[in-house]
Amino acid sequence: MKKEIYMELPLGYDEQVAIGTVCKLKKALHGIKKSLRAWFGRVIRVMTSLGYKESQGDHTLFIKHSVSGGVTILMVYVDDIIVIGDDKREQEKLSQCLVAKFEIKTLGRLKYFLGIEMAHSKKRIFISQQKYITDLLKETGKIACKPANTPVDPNTKLGSASAKEDIAVDMETYPRLVGRLIYLYPTRPNMAFVVSLVS
């Protein structure tokens, strides 16, 4: 942490000691608003020191072109990191550096990320959201619903209902579901994308 940050004493301390006493943080804790900024700032410093350039289109994406013509890409989502590319030597070097700089666990080949499943073959990667969609339908109790092209009657006039007829909205469930729909791509549940690997 670059700035001084203090927090109240956690539960378990003697009440007499806890009155008017605070803790000075030596490093960021998970859950503090500034922790994510501090973590990502450190990621940026490490990646730029290794010769990676931050993408102008997505600041969580870092790219490095090797002298041999290969490319290595690192993407960060909160505390998950994905490394892809065709330069195996650079990927190994990057992995060793990340292990030295951060407490990380290598999970191997990418299988599931942001609601997308990946199945690998020698020449292709199959991408699907079937599990994500099924989980979403189970959570909302809609697993037995029949598919429809448009879930709203096309003749419905929005805003015409009186306030008394409005259905109460669950302000905890609704925003969570909208947030989950952000990661849902416009495909049928049983449809899978196929991405050809460049050899």
d(CA 136, CA 147): 14
Give residue 1's pLDDT band: very low, low, confident or very high (50, 70, 90).
low
Res 181 pLDDT > 70? yes
Q: Which one is predicted more confidently, 62 or 78?
A: 62
Using one digit for the tens of pLDDT, what is the confidence trace for 184-199? 766 544 444 444 333 2
Single-letter amino acid, residue 129: Q
Q: Is residue 118 part of a domain?
A: yes
Q: Average the pLDDT over 15-23 and give the result.
A: 71
Q: Is residue 134 part of a domain?
A: yes
What is the tally of structural domains in the chain?
Answer: 1
Q: Is residue 80 part of a domain?
A: no
* Residues of the chain above pLDDT 90, percent: 13
131-135: long-range contacts at Cβ-Cβ below 8 A with a sequence spacing of 24 or more? Answer: 132/183, 132/184, 133/184, 133/189, 134/189
Q: Is residue 133 part of a domain?
A: yes
Q: Taken in order 54, 59, 62, 65, is the CA torsion positive or negative?
A: negative
* Whether 86 contacts 78, CB under 8 Å: no
- Tell me the two tokens of residue 62: 């870092």
| pLDDT confidence of residue 90 | 92
Average pLDDT, the chain: 78
| pLDDT confidence of residue 173 | 80
Q: Average the pLDDT over 148-159 and give the result.
A: 72
| pLDDT confidence of residue 73 | 93
32-35-40 Cα angle (round to 5): 155
| pLDDT confidence of residue 49 | 93
**Residue 193: strand pairing partners:** 127
Using one digit for the tens of pLDDT, what is the confidence trace for 70-119? 999 999 887 788 898 888 899 999 998 988 888 888 888 888 887 888 88
Q: Is residue 18 part of a domain?
A: no
Q: Is residue 181 part of a domain?
A: yes
> Would you call 19 helix, strand, or coil by DSSP?
coil
Q: Is residue 85 part of a domain?
A: no
Domain span at residue 136? Answer: 109-147+170-199
Q: Taken in order 50, 118, 146, 142, is the CA torsion positive or negative?
A: negative
Q: Is residue 191 part of a domain?
A: yes
Res 25 pLDDT > 50? yes
